[in-house]
Amino acid sequence: MTPGKKLQGLVAATVTPMTPDGQINLSVIRQYVDYLVSEQNVKSVFVNGTTGEGLSLNTQERQQLAEEWVCQGKDKLDHVIIHVGALSLPESQELARHAAAIGASGIAVIAPFFFKPANKDELIAFLQKVASEAPAVPFYYYHIPPLTGVKIRVEELLDGIKEWIPTFQGVKFSDTDLLDLAQCINKNEREQFAFLYGVDEQLLSALAIGANGAVGSTYNYLGRKTNLMLQAFAKSDLALARKYQFLTGEFLSFVIKLGFGVAQTKAIMTFVSGIPMGPPRLPLVGASEEFIAKAQAKLNSIVWPDGD
Ligand SMILES: CC(=O)N[C@@H]([C@@H](O)[C@H](O)[C@H](O)CO)[C@@H](O)CC(=O)C(=O)O
């Protein structure tokens, strides 16, 4: 791992491998790390987030996963970011202390979403209490209003945030409100925050307004293709970048119509990588055989600009 290196480029929001009977399966994480690096050219991970079913795991499971990712990623990955958000503040603080102790590259926190913060001050108070438990670890706010229902604008949240959270480094922005993202980027140029976009099907639009990279589920299996999009964008070859975005969009729009979420991501990742990711945990239920067959056929039918 590379301490001090800015978080940018693609970050895979990892799934949590599980055994057929629903226990976390740490034994495949080494293979998972190797697969991301060698097959997808993805060298950063976001662990225990939405895709990782972090909020469906208990504290011990979250800590074991964090440890395994940090251990296996130590000499191979650039960043291992651990999501430590929870509904309970002490639980989130415990996870933050643990992430610091094991040497995670960063921590991220989602807004509590049962009793919700009513305004910016309440949200910052919660985030601050977690961040202060890991005073030497870069801190990221994880904004995902479609799932949390917490719609406090990030532009507002960032105003003066360093006074409260000196370790604040950036935002994982999983929302379609690109005006909010644009204002965040525009107003925080001096701060050098990282803005990582989390709606994979719209990443190119976020890059155009200055996002530094992305955290998402599809970079587990479309990381190599999306990296080619990032390269085309960096070379100002917008026509090529669009082709990649349109094709990932074509796949996602196809699977979204069939019903797409974490369970389906686990199934896709299993057939693409060959690593058994197992079932999701209830209340999520596994992808159907029909979904798997259709998704596999669709993915195989796509002709990418690099000829694959
Ligand atoms: C709602 C949701 O799960 N969003 C995903 C996206 O990567 C999403 O799967 C993708 O854009 C396809 O819609 C990520 O933003 C979630 C994420 O990064 C995480 O697992 O923490």
199 Cβ inside 6 Å of ligand 1: yes
pLDDT of 6: 86
**What digits encode the pLDDT tens for the residues 280-301?**
999 999 999 999 999 999 999 9
Instruction: Please spell the DSSP secondary structure of 240-280, one letter per residue.
Output: HHHHHHHHHHHHHHHHHHH--SHHHHHHHHHHHH-------
Structural domains of the chain, ranges and CATH numbers in brackets:
9-237 (3.20.20.70)
Catalytic residue status for 197: no
| Residue among 190, 187, 195, 133 nearest 169 (CA) | 195
13 Cβ inside 6 Å of ligand 1: yes
ipTM value, please give it: 0.98
Closest ligand 1 atom to 52 CA? 20
Report the pLDDT averaged over residues 174-190.
Answer: 95
Q: What is the percentage of the chain residues whose pLDDT exceeds 90?
A: 95
Instruction: Judge whether residue 5 has pLDDT over 90.
Output: no
Q: What pTM did the predictor assign?
A: 0.97
**What digits encode the pLDDT tens for the residues 51-97?**
999 999 999 999 999 999 999 999 999 999 999 999 999 999 999 99
Catalytic residue status for 172: yes
Query: In Å, what is the CA distance from 149 to each residue of 55, 143, 255?
Result: 15, 10, 24
Expressed in angstroms and rounded, the spacing between residue 216 Cα and the centre of ligand 1 is: 5
Measured distance CA(286)–CA(262) in Å, rounded? 9
Expressed in angstroms and rounded, the spacing between residue 49 Cα and the centre of ligand 1 is: 9
**What digits encode the pLDDT tens for the residues 234-278?**
999 999 999 999 999 999 999 999 999 999 999 999 999 999 999
SS3 216: strand
**What digits encode the pLDDT tens for the residues 188-236?**
888 889 999 999 999 999 999 999 999 999 999 999 999 999 999 999 9
* CA 292 to mean position of chain CA atoms: 23
Identify the band that residue 126 occupies on the pLDDT scale cut at 50, 70 and 90. very high
> Across all residues in the chain, what is the average pLDDT?
97
215 among annotated binding-site residues: yes
